[in-house]
Structures are given as structure tokens and as C-alpha cells.
Chains A and B, each alone.
Chain A
Amino acid sequence: MTNTKGRFGEFGGQYVPETLMNELIHLEEAYNHYKNDPEFVAELDSLMKNYAGRPSRLYYAEKMTRDLGGARIYLKREDLNHTGAHKINNCLGQVLLAKKMGKTRVIAETGAGQHGVATATVAALLGMECEVFMGELDCQRQKLNVYRMELLGAKVHHVKSGSMVLKDAVNEAMREWAGRVDDTHYVLGSCMGPHPFPTIVRDFQSVISKEAREQILEKEGRLPDVVMACVGGGSNAIGAFYNFIPDKGVRLIGCEAAGRGVDTGETAATMAVGKLGVFHGMKSLFCQNDYGQIDKVYSISAGLDYPGIGPEHAYLKSIGRADYVPITDEEAVDAFEYLSRTEGIIPAVESAHAVAYARKLAPTMDKDQIIIICLSGRGDKDVASIAKYRGVDIDE
């Protein structure tokens, strides 16, 4: 019999070294206390509103809708949040929680740098020391974000172990945390890792679907037919899905990074090619070889090239509640350019994966149907690398 704590079906759990177990237990207790503490809730609400700029807009993308000729398309504008992505929702929650727990220092992993920037931002605001772990390859792909984090007072560790990308940054952050739990909280950036992280991150991100559900009811008087979001670890997607899960008529679609294609070996499409395993503290699906060694994964998007996926997504897939589709680099880059031209909105290359699938799906739907795309982040950070992908060398 396995531990039932923090399970989503068979997925989830707490697969961490003993050194971290008591800290996870303390974290769960503290979270269960503060999530019902009126003072904590009011403080977080105020920060979400006055600092992050919530609620984020639900924008009717009229030109895109007309151009695709099918379902009405709405964009949930998480890109308009302070720091330019949904990541701030989770960081405000976790760093505030850490502060209440008496911690004085936060650490985080980051892929594209958005979660690192958001953590560094909130740490600056709340007066916490901050150190961010980022794979050396990602540091090179996202130099601006490295500088941003340093500007915000964080120390950035360039992780040179393993494949030098997001999974290695998570490894290093976990190692660091195991060495220093007394004053340090690990602000995990996605709905992954050991319990209670998948639940905490989902709860802090669920504000996305809470708002979107109210907003669409107000604008259209009905629920959407489809909610879609990009998935790496899956935090913006779980946030966008969560309050729609009980609405059986709402189709939930996660768009994962296929890289150069799911059959090429250069992919990060965990749902398409991953198998059940145990890694980074959780039982979930992972890209791995025939002996359970974790694969190197690839995507043009530094935020999606993670070899696993949050346990709640694996569960939603297993019960057929959500579908997951792979989107290639090329499709994502096309969508990046498409949304920029069509709506004047430059999406993060991560979010462009969801836009790409909307371009395929919307034309097959009726004109009275509705799609909500979670536009998880803005694309300023990606402009240089997209230019490079298109053969234009510009100086960052």
C-alpha cells in the first residue's frame, strides 16, 4: 500500500530524502493554517490586486476570431500581470507564506526565467533573501532575465550539472534546500514536486480560472466550450482548468511542447511519449529511457522543456477529463508571429503553444462556441531567440 497523502489517483506523493520530510510536513501544516487565516487571505488578495494588477483581463480576440472563422476566442491576459506572466500568482502566495513561517530566505528554480524573476520580485518586495537556480543553457537563452533577477537583488546560480536546463535547476534547488531548511523556503514554480507543492501551486494559480469563469459568464452569459493552456510542469494550465473541472461541458486542453516533433527524440511532450515513473518528489509521467533514466528533452521554449508533468495533470488525463496535444517549435513560432500581427499581442513562446492549437481547433468549431486561451505570459523575453530561429541575428 502506498502513502495516500497528496495523491491525485495514483499520481503525486512525497518521494524525497528523509532530510526534507519534516520540512514538507511543516509546510503542509502552515499552508493548511494560513489558507484559512483571514489576515493572510486579505494580505494576499491585496497584493494580487494592488501589486500584481489582478484581476487580469479576459479579452475578446475579435480579429483572430474573424480570421479563423470558427469559435469565439477569448484570451485570459496573464501576460498583463506584473512581471509579465502567471508566475507572480504563485510567488506572491508562497513567499508570503514563507515569511509567515518565519523564513528569511527563498530559493527557486527557473527555466525561461519567468518564475525566477517573479520570485526575485516578490522577495525584493517582502524583504527576503533570494537565490535562483537556472541551467547554464537557459541562462544563455534568456540573458535578459538573468540580468533582471540580479537587478532585483537575487543571486543567480548558473547550473552546470547534467543537461544544464530546467530539470537540472530543480535538482540543484532541491539539493540546496536539503542543505538549509531552517531559514529557507523553496518556492517551487510549478504544480509539481512532492506534496504539498502540487496542491499549493494549483491553489495559488486557480485564481486564473476563478476570474475567467466569472468573466465569461458576465460577457457571454454561458460557460466556454474549451479552455486551453500550454503545459510544461503545468502551473498556468492547472490554474486555468481548476474551477472548470466540475463543469463537464467544458473541454480542457493542455498544449505541450513537441520540440522538433514527438517522434524525433527532440521533444518535451511528456503526455505523448512519457511513461509512469518517480522523479522530483512525485509519481507522474516522465520522458525516460528503458531503464528509467530521465531523458534529455528539447523545446524552443525554455519554460516547457521539462521531462515530467504535474501529477494532477497526469490524473486529469488518466480519467479523461483533460486532453493534451503536442505542438511543434515551428507551429509555436508561427503562432507567436500570428498573434503579434493579428492582435498586436506578443505572447510568450510558451503561451504561443496554446495559441497554435487554437488556430487548428477554432475553425472546426461553430461560430457560437467559445474558446478561452490562457495567455500565460508576454513574449518580450523571446523576441531575440525567435529572431534567431528565423535567421535574424539581433543584439540583445
Chain B
Amino acid sequence: MSKKIADAFQNGKAFIPFITAGDPSIEKTKEFILTMEKAGADLIEIGIPFSDPIAEGVVIQEADLRSLEAGTTTDTVFDMVADLRKETDMPLVFMTYLNIVFYYGYERFFTRCEEVGISGIIIPDMPYEEKGECADIAARHGVEVISMIAPTSEERIRTIAGEASGFIYVVSSMGVTGVRSEITTNLGSILGHIREVTDVPAAIGFGINTPEQAKEMASIADGVIVGSAIVKLAAKYGEGAAPYIYSYVKSMKDAIR
């Protein structure tokens, strides 16, 4: 039995790295995930690539396209996770776009998630209003649909947080994913509103790159999510990226311990 999302928040502040599955290859993704676990990652987001990821900046867009070009499919990602489960019980979640899940078939998709031990899913183009698409089916298979809260959410924060489970993904900045030198959103106030309605852990993502930023974010939230900075390392070093990913993830986890 693999670990659940809640377990990821039992080890101090959680460090949550993201990796695009299949870039540069599905075998390497498996290696990178195990590497990140060793480096101290508490929960890993596995991106199932989509041809048109509208919430992503250029780094993850390009990784998605490279991965699809290399032949990654929803099935090869599931197979990789099944294989991974022989070596780790760490909590894993998927991040992908609704069409990928819809097209695979909600029942079939979440049945597979349950079989391979995926405990949550982030679907950036399924806002609160459209959760009815698959939240019930996911829940029946023990998969938590992660709610996102953005700088523009305002009065929606309480509604969204009130129904959240697993963890809450707090989007640090306007726009798309990608490294930012500065985060200007009043995150303290957003976290404050969340805390008024729920104890579900909240992690901040989008734009976080340096250990300093991670430390600052961890001081107000329960976890920190980093995607583009890691995907960039995979892009830059390709097959040989594991040691670079290891030291980066370790430096980030150390910064928020």
C-alpha cells in the first residue's frame, strides 16, 4: 500500500517537485523520480504531457512536446508508475489537462490510478465549477482532486478551500508556470483565508526557483511546489540529469526543513 498525500506533510514543510513524464524518456522519468525521493522530496507530481498545456510557460510546454514526440502516452505513464511501485511507496500525484483524463475515460483512468497507487490529481483546466466532471469518480477510487487557488480568487477562496481535500495548490502569481525572480502576490492574506475554513495543507507553486524563495514560501505555507526549474535541468542535461536534479532537490528541501 503506497503512502497518501497526508503523509507528505508529516515531515516538516513538504517539498513537492514536478517532472514531465517521458522527457527525455519514460525510463529516465522513473530514475528522476527515485532520485528526487532520495534527495528529500515528500510528494512528487508527475505530469502527463498534453499537446496544448495552456497553464504552462514555455519550459513545460516544450518538455510536453518533446515527451509526446518521444512516444509517451497515458498508458506508458501508467506502466511506468506501476513499475516504480516495485521500488517506492512514496505519495505520487498526477498533473495533467482534463482532455487527457476525459478521453481515457474517467472510470478507466481513476481505476488505473488506484491500481498503481496514484493518490491525487491536479487538473489546471478543471476549476471548482467543473469539478463535477470527475471528482466523485476520483474519490471512489481514492484519488483526491487537488483544488487550486489563484491570486485572483478573492471571495472564491473560502468556497474552494472549504471543499478541498488532499492539499491545496496555491498559485503564487498571475500567468503561467515558469521561473520568476520575484513573487509579489499577498500570499499571507490568501493563506489566512484558507486557514479560516480548513486544516487541509496548503502548498505554494508557480515561479519558485531558488532555496531563498522556497524558504520564504515555506514560512507561510505547508509546502512548496517546484516544476519549471526541475524540468529545465532535465532539458539541459537530458539522460545525465539525475545528479543535477538530486543536488537541486536536496538544496530546496534543506532550505525549508
Contact = CB atoms under 8 A, between A and B. Distances in A.
The listed residue with most A CB atoms (<10 A of its CB), out of B99, B150, B171, B176, is B99
A17 B148 contact: yes
**How large, as a class, is the contact surface on chain A?**
35 or more
Contacts of A3: 129-130, 132
B247 interface: no
Interface string A13-57: 111111111110000000000000000000000000000000000
Interface string A165-179: 001100100110011
Interface string B156-200: 100010000000000100111000000000000000000000000
B99 A279 contact: yes
A23 B51 contact: no
B68 interface: yes
Given A22-B153, A178-B55, A293-B68, A15 B126 contact: yes
B152 A294 contact: no
B139 interface: no
Contacts of B152: 18-23, 181
Given A5-B129, A21-B156, A161-B61, A175 B150 contact: no
Contact of B127 (A18, A168, A175, A280): A18
Interface string B103-129: 110000000000000000000111111
A386 interface: no
Contacts of A277: 99, 102-103
A54 B97 CA distance: 42
Q: What band does the interface of chain B fall in when counting residues whose beta carbon is under 8 Å from A?
A: 35 or more
Interface in A146-187: 161-162, 167-168, 171, 174-175, 178-181
Interface string A272-294: 00011111110000101011111
A27 to B, nearest CB: 13
A293 B153 contact: no
Contacts, number: 125
Contacts of A181: 152, 174
A2 interface: yes
A288 B103 contact: yes
A1 interface: yes
A294 B150 contact: no
A159 to B, nearest CB: 11
Nearest to B175: A179
Nearest to A286: B99
B176 A291 contact: no
A174 B153 CA distance: 17
A99 to B, nearest CB: 21
Given A288-B103, A293-B68, A174 B54 contact: yes
A168 B50 CA distance: 13
B65 interface: yes
Contacts of A175: 54-55, 57, 175-176
Contacts of B68: 293
Interface of A: 1-3, 5, 13-23, 161-162, 167-168, 171, 174-175, 178-181, 275-281, 286, 288, 290-294
